Structure 1
Amino acid sequence: MVATATIELKDLVLQTVIGTYGENDTVPEAHVLDMTLSIASEKVFVSEDGMSQVFDYDPLIAEIDHLARDGHYETQEWLVSRIAKACAPHPEITGLDIGLHKRPVKDGSGTLGIRLRLDAQDLESLR
């Protein structure tokens, strides 16, 4: 059996402004990020305790926060594309699944979102 590993980020509320809304439109209270990174298994199944053994995801989370705060976005798709491009330079990342949704959608309820999945070949083309 081949070992696989992921790093999972769930329910991160981004400080961002996405979309253009009219007077009677529902303006989202939150844009929420879920992201799963497929990663080299040796970065999760480690032989000793130490940051040099693992993928340091803190700089990537800081970059995502920076991108989210980087002005007004017309679409969720553009922010997700920028996040994917920020992941690409990390050779340890062999795949990703990014979901971004906003809430509420209408009358104080619902979520609406998008999802992008990239495999190793997709990421390699971005490098």
Structure 2
Amino acid sequence: MTLPTSTASRIELKDFHLATRIGTYAPGDTVPDYHALDLTLWIDPDLVLIAQDGMAHVFDYDPLVVEIERLAADGLYATQERLMTRIVQACAAYPVIEALEIGLRKFPVRAGSGSLGVRLLVDRAQLQRMRGNEG
């Protein structure tokens, strides 16, 4: 087992079912029952290793989750990638998020079986570039 060389902290949202519509389907195509989001946010360990209990000392992720739900329900998306991009942009609005990994999967792929998804890792430099482009 390899031990970490520095302290790191993550917030993890796993298998979060989104109320979203993605893609267009012809008659006979398998239409997904649902899309699931996996989102890992790297944040400063000082927001996890806290000296006293209280929301003022941690990252309050609830507003971000509400925004993700709003984005997911914001009309029809042609691709999973577009919804993912909008979620990454929402994450970039929070300076405490240092990096992130996002995955979005649809279920099923064919005949009630499997999942198909896209995964993206966004490092600190890319988030900083996104923040610099906001105006």
Residue in 2 that maps onto 1:101: 105
* C-alpha distance after superposition, 1:5-51 (max 9, x if no partner): 00000010000000000001000000000000000110111111000
CA–CA distance in structure 2, aligned partners of residues 79 and 67 of structure 1: 7
Residue in 1 that maps onto 2:75: 71
Residue 11 of structure 2 aligns to a residue whose secondary structure is: strand
CA–CA distance in structure 2, aligned partners of residues 34 and 10 of structure 1: 4
CA–CA distance in structure 2, aligned partners of residues 2 and 54 of structure 1: 20
Residue 61 of structure 1 aligns to a residue whose secondary structure is: helix
1:87 and 2:91 correspond = yes
- Cα offset for 1:57? 0.1
* C-alpha distance after superposition, 1:70-104 (max 9, x if no partner): 00000000000000000002111000000000000
- Cα offset for 1:2? 2.5
Q: Choose from 106, 109, 115 the match for 1:111.
A: 115
1:39 and 2:43 correspond = yes
Q: Choose from 115, 124, 128 the match for 1:124.
A: 128
- Cα offset for 1:116? 1.0
Residue 24 of structure 2 aligns to a residue whose secondary structure is: coil
CA–CA distance in structure 2, aligned partners of residues 52 and 45 of structure 1: 13
CA–CA distance in structure 2, aligned partners of residues 119 and 32 of structure 1: 22
Identity of aligned residues (%): 53
Q: Alpha carbon RMSD of aligned pairs, Å?
A: 0.6
CA–CA distance in structure 1, aligned partners of residues 123 and 108 of structure 2: 31
Residue in 1 that maps onto 2:19: 15
Structure 2: which 5+ runs fail to align? Answer: none
1:6 and 2:10 correspond = yes
CA–CA distance in structure 2, aligned partners of residues 2 and 105 of structure 1: 40
Residue in 2 that maps onto 1:58: 62
Residue 104 of structure 2 aligns to a residue whose secondary structure is: strand
Please identify runs of 4+ aligned residues in structure 1 that moved more than 2 A: none
Structure 1: which 5+ runs fail to align? Answer: none
